[in-house]
Amino acid sequence: MSNFFKISLFVTVSVIFFLAFHKFSYQNRPFFYFLVNFNDKLNHIVAFMVLAFLIEKAYNMKNVLLNSLILLSLGAFIEIYQLLFVPGRSFSLKDFLADCVGIAVYIIIKKIHAAYKKRKRIYKIDNLRFKTLAAD
């Protein structure tokens, strides 16, 4: 299963780089331009949520801080590259902050899911004990 997530991570990063490092003119818009330009900050948030999930699954990274640092480095690299090498594009602090929000939202969702699973497991154990006591 890890290979599936590694390939998915590679494809996702490739698509993000393609979209980040190209300037689309109004005459030569790709057919998916409406998706790209729908809401730029929402795209950043979702992209980095997906990247956080894929990095964690592909490399079995349980260290949230390391995962976050890798993704923040990627976000900073993309913004700096756009500033220096992509004509018509610039460094956007709002985009970088949207990347940070995407990582934070993923971490929050992960924590909520872990708490839910723990609560569900405890409930099952308590329910088993209750049934065992009732049978006696």
Ordered by start, the domain boundaries in the chain are 2-110
pLDDT in tens, 13-31: 999 999 888 876 555 555 5
Q: What pLDDT shows up at residue 90?
A: 86
Percent of the chain with pLDDT over 70: 78
Whose structure tokens read 């992209």? 47
